[in-house]
């Protein structure tokens, strides 16, 4: 029989043992279908959270670049009015479906890469990778789906009648997307150890916000030149295009930062946290 002084230690030991029994270690090669479903749930949850604001901002940037509206803010106000007054027209529209397709596919690819990595290694099913395999796979998915989205958006919201998107625009959009993916999925795990601990936000979450946001300072010129090449295919010298970038850089970079914070900031954190929770639940069920 335990003495009074030993009872607290005994109770703590029993509590720890009980907690350990609640979570059964699942090897990387077990419960694969459940984990793939968890990957899809995580990707869907993140996409539903971010798709409305991204759709609004992407349309605003496109319409401003084509001259259909006087500013990004004016277009954003018009889209916000539609969301409030006729939400069904917004959420069941082609632009929203294109945005959902792009980001769901990107997050799902990233999650699948993590799951297949743990299947091969037999390691922790909650582990998140940051290697070249993930960069190539997520970049390919994001660029492929993103180019479909950008081509449709350019035709819907660009100037003049719909026409093919020129090859230089495709190349610039691909470079833009590759940079964004690298800064969203590969840079944050590398940046996290260098960020200080604080009570407001975990270093992991802070890195997920900072890296893709900073990337927009570099990628916005690529985006603007790509749009200008589409809207003015047969006119405009190199100097004209540089002046176009200069006129629109600040508001477009700011808009893309506002866009990327939900896209790979809030979205990235949501995807990771929902996936971690889902994988923990799978472990609890043994």
pLDDT reported for residue 9:
56
pLDDT at residue 135 is higher than 80: yes
Stretch 119-123: mean pLDDT, rounded?
86
pLDDT at residue 18 is higher than 50: no
pLDDT reported for residue 19:
44
Degrees to nearest 5, angle at CA 161 with 155 and 166: 55
Report d(CA 43, CA 142) in Å as an integer. 13
Q: How many structural domains compose the chain? A: 1
Contact 42, 107 (CB under 8 A): yes
- Percent of the chain past pLDDT 70, that is, above it, reads 88
Long-range contacts of 173-178 (CB under 8 A, 24+ apart): 173/143, 173/146, 173/147, 173/222, 173/223, 173/226, 174/143, 174/147, 175/219, 175/222, 176/219, 176/222, 176/223, 176/226, 177/139, 177/142, 177/143, 177/146, 177/147, 178/139, 178/143
Please check whether residue 60 lies inside any domain of the structure: yes
Secondary structure of 147-214 in HEC code, one letter for each residue: HHHHHHHHHHHCCCCCCCCCHHHHHHHHHHHHHHHHHHHHHHHHHHHHCCCCCCCCHHHHHHHHHHHH
Report d(CA 258, CA 265) in Å as an integer. 10
pLDDT reported for residue 21:
42
Q: Which residue has the tokens 């996290």?
A: 192
Mean pLDDT of the chain: 84
Tokens representing 56 are 């609004």
Tokens representing 205 are 């979450």
- What b/e readout covers 160-185, taking b as 16+ CB neighbours within 10 angstroms? eeeeebeeebbebbbebbbbbbbbbb
Residue 121 CA to its chain's centroid (Å): 26
Q: Which helix (H) or strand (E) holds 225?
A: helix 203-231
pLDDT at residue 108 is higher than 70: yes
Of residues 97 and 227, which shows the higher confidence score? 97
Please check whether residue 171 lies inside any domain of the structure: yes
Of residues 264 and 221, which shows the higher confidence score? 221
Please check whether residue 253 lies inside any domain of the structure: yes
- CATH number reported for the structural domain that contains residue 265 in this entry: 1.50.40
Please check whether residue 238 lies inside any domain of the structure: yes
At 196, give phi and psi (nearest 5°). Answer: -75, 150
Of residues 213 and 154, which shows the higher confidence score? 213
Angstrom CA distances, 277 to 51, 154, 232, 263, stand at 22, 38, 48, 20
pLDDT confidence tier of residue 107, bands split at 50, 70 and 90: very high
Please check whether residue 17 lies inside any domain of the structure: no
The boundaries of the domain holding residue 172 are 29-284
Please check whether residue 208 lies inside any domain of the structure: yes
Report d(CA 149, CA 171) in Å as an integer. 15
> How do residues 142-168 score in pLDDT, each as one tens digit?
888 988 887 888 788 876 666 777 889
Please check whether residue 24 lies inside any domain of the structure: no
pLDDT reported for residue 159:
65
Contacts of 180 (CB under 8 A, 6+ apart): 142, 212, 215, 216, 219, 260, 264
pLDDT reported for residue 152:
87
pLDDT reported for residue 5:
52
Tokens representing 91 are 């959420």
Please check whether residue 2 lies inside any domain of the structure: no
Q: Is the pTM of this model over 0.75?
A: no
pLDDT at residue 221 is higher than 60: yes
Strands (DSSP E) found in the chain: none
pLDDT confidence tier of residue 83, bands split at 50, 70 and 90: confident
């Amino acid at each position: 029989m335990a003495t009074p002084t030993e009872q607290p230690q005994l109770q703590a030991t029993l509590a720890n043992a009980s907690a350990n029994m609640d979570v059964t270690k699942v090897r990387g090669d077990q419960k694969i279908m459940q984990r793939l479903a968890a990957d899809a749930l995580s990707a869907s949850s993140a996409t539903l959270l971010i798709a409305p604001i991204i759709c609004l901002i992407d349309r605003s940037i496109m319409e401003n670049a084509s001259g259909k509206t006087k500013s990004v803010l004016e277009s954003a106000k018009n889209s916000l009015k539609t969301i409030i007054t006729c939400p069904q027209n917004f959420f069941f529209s082609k632009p929203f479906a294109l945005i959902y397709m792009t980001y769901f596919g990107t997050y799902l690819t990233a999650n699948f890469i993590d799951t297949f990595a743990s299947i091969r290694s037999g390691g922790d099913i909650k582990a998140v990778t940051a290697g070249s395999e993930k960069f190539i796979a997520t970049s390919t998915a994001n660029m492929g789906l993103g180019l479909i989205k950008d081509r449709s958006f350019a035709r819907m919201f660009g100037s003049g009648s719909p026409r093919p998107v020129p090859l230089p625009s495709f190349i610039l959009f691909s470079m833009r997307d590759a940079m964004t993916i690298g800064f969203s999925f590969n840079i944050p795990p590398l940046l996290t150890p260098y960020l200080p601990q604080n009570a407001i936000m975990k270093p992991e979450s802070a890195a997920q916000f900072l890296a893709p946001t900073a990337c927009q300072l570099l990628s916005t010129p690529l985006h603007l030149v790509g749009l200008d090449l589409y809207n003015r295919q047969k006119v405009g010298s190199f100097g004209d295009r540089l002046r176009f970038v200069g006129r629109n850089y600040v508001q477009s970079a700011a808009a893309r930062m506002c866009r990327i914070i939900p896209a790979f900031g809030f979205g990235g954190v949501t995807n990771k946290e929902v996936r971690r929770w889902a994988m923990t639940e799978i472990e609890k069920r043994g």
